[in-house]
Chain A
């Protein structure tokens, strides 16, 4: 937990420095008044000060014995990892092979990764998720979803 706070503070500090620098390069003031850089510049300054305060607070606090790891391990980590990786793959496939196939593959892959082995149910669910939802959203709700170059 302590290390997590330190890393987050440093990352946020870097973000504040970068945005502050870019905001400074935009006009802070122009002839009409505050320019486009005014608000983000001062926000970055406040953010950087807060990051420094948090970093100092956390670093000055002595580490405690019950400072356990916050991220999961084993099966729980695999489940969270599978959700992230397969959602990323599904997203990458959306424009390439269209919503229907991408979501079908994503659904089947994630159900298997989360431990389901009822094949007929996986097939029915995945086909409905890909083709059924496309039909409902595209045709009934007028929500346009990606279609591949091959029309699928």
Chain B
């Protein structure tokens, strides 16, 4: 009930003309990012951070969150119309969505995806409002011991589910943590790994690194894989046939459940919920042979799971301050750029901001529904923008974004350097998600571990005296034991996510 009352007050904050405009701009830009193949939500959100610099913190976060869930929906359009997913989570939608488009039912596929996304996103937001306060209250009782264990758990779950090679995922985590060590030591104030370069005294900026690893690297990869052919889609009939309504409603409900539950688990990624929702629908269907040939449930379930996941994955960020995916890590970076630290204290320090942002998820979902159904033809037309112009435009935004953080060209070089590193690592199939999450969690992990060891006089046995920390540390141990002892149980899901 408390969450509901706060949510109502959040609507008052979110429904100001300025914030409504920011949400609308965010949804539009997000859909655009999702529509354009080769530019995922993490890259898109990082690239567009500079346009929020002049906004107040609430407006900036509302806009960036809207970009995120807008991008999650936008990817569907290209999946259905040209069989090219705009972002990874829409891969599974290609199977039946594109078949529906070929049968002249693109309108119905896109409409059901929009409705499913709306339902999934809205239900997950209600749950976020209900769960966030109890979880944040629990986290308020955490000391440095529990916080360190919490961050270790979040990071190790990401590692466990991040890629095909566990050692490579762990190495990427170490790489991200070492990057986070550059600069002034947060506890004693000593400079570390700066090589005497004054720009490194503040550390390597998270946003230029994220832009490089995701934005520049994705552009370089896209330069090799130009667009496919656009199917001339019929967008007249937007609704499912009579006998499809009931199974579609049921698949939307099941997709919501799967997306929400998996959104709470760090490291799952947006692909796995969509994959699981699709597989479940196929298993439960009386006519599984329709899947792959244009089954509407094959679009409804994964698209619903996709948006339910997107909103539910905000819960660990808001309540615990732990990002569960690279895009959420970029959003956490945006919080920090705006002088805010996500986590339980934010509910005490800036409840106006937190609840306005949560309420804006609802408003954004309504906007997405209104934007996407009537304007789907317009979005499809954007796919005709030549790659060269898209590439130059994105690069300019990257340059502006990297430069404007500290008004230094050094950060643009950092972005470019990490673009090359990201391109090579992605070519070699090293997972990048653990690196980016480790980089943003690194300073907090180090600070909490060192404080813990100062309290205990250097003894690691202090963790045994804290049952919550022990439980949190046991979770990744159990997952890793499963990964090592039963590698086949996870390999299918991990490969789906890595691909």
Contacts and interface: CB of A to CB of B under 8 A. Distances in A.
A145 B428 contact: no
Interface residues of A, number: 63
A103 B168 CA distance: 38
Given A39-B449, A47-B171, A80-B220, A145 B403 contact: yes
Nearest to A108: B392
Interface in B369-398: 386-389, 391-393, 395-396
Contacts of A83: 219-220, 223, 391, 395
A50 B220 contact: no
10 contacts: A16-B178, A37-B192, A44-B178, A50-B170, A106-B396, A110-B395, A111-B388, A137-B404, A143-B51, A145-B400
Interface string A1-34: 1001100100010011001001100100110111
A67 interface: no
Contacts of B54: 141-143
A139 to B, nearest CB: 11
Interface residues on chain B, size class: 35 or more
Residue picked from B187, B223, B407, B419, most chain A C-beta under 10 Å: B223
A87 B395 contact: yes
A35 B393 CA distance: 45
B171 A51 contact: yes
Interface stretch (B37-45, B315-323, B345-353, B409-417): B409-417
A141 B391 contact: no
Interface of A: 1, 4-5, 8, 12, 15-16, 19, 22-23, 26, 29-30, 32-40, 43-44, 46-47, 50-51, 53-54, 57, 70-72, 76, 79-80, 83-84, 87-88, 90-91, 94-95, 103, 106-107, 110-111, 114-116, 125, 129, 133, 137, 141-146
Contact of A141 (B51, B193, B454): B51
Residue picked from B50, B400, B425, most chain A C-beta under 10 Å: B400
B403 A94 contact: yes
Given A33-B453, A33-B458, A36-B188, A125 B178 contact: no
B404 A129 contact: no
Given A116-B388, A141-B51, A39 B181 contact: yes
A34 B192 contact: no
Given A5-B428, A36-B190, A145-B403, A95 B171 contact: no
B335 interface: no
Contacts of A39: 177, 181, 445-446, 449-450
Give 9 closest A-B pairs by Cβ, nearest first.
A33-B454, A114-B388, A36-B185, A47-B174, A79-B223, A142-B54, A76-B224, A36-B190, A39-B446
Interface string B23-53: 0000000000000000000000000001101
A84 B420 contact: yes
A103 B400 CA distance: 10
Interface string B56-85: 000000000000000000000000000000
B457 interface: yes
A80 B220 CA distance: 5
B213 to A, nearest CB: 15
Contacts of A103: 396, 399
Contacts of A129: 392-393, 396
Contacts of A87: 216, 395, 399, 416
B201 interface: no
B167 interface: yes
A47 B171 CA distance: 6
B430 interface: yes
Contact of B174 (A16, A79, A145): A16
Nearest to A50: B171
A145 B404 contact: yes
A32 B188 CA distance: 10
A57 B413 CA distance: 34
Interface string B204-219: 0000000000001001
A37 B445 CA distance: 14
A144 B404 contact: yes
Contacts of B450: 33-34, 38-39
B261 to A, nearest CB: 32
B187 A36 contact: yes
B171 A76 contact: no
Given A4-B428, A32-B454, A36-B192, 16 more contacts: A8-B424, A8-B430, A15-B175, A33-B454, A38-B450, A43-B174, A46-B174, A50-B174, A84-B416, A90-B395, A94-B412, A106-B392, A107-B396, A141-B53, A141-B54, A143-B53
A103 B397 CA distance: 11
B427 interface: yes
B177 A43 contact: yes
Contacts of B396: 103, 106-107, 129, 133
Interface string B451-478: 0011001100000000000000000000
A137 B400 contact: yes
B167 A57 contact: yes
A111 B392 contact: yes
B451 to A, nearest CB: 8
Contacts of B389: 111, 116, 125
Contacts of B454: 32-34
A76 B181 contact: no
Interface string B160-175: 0000010110110011
A57 B445 CA distance: 30
B167 A53 contact: yes
A28 B423 CA distance: 35
Contacts of B458: 29, 33-34
A137 B399 contact: no
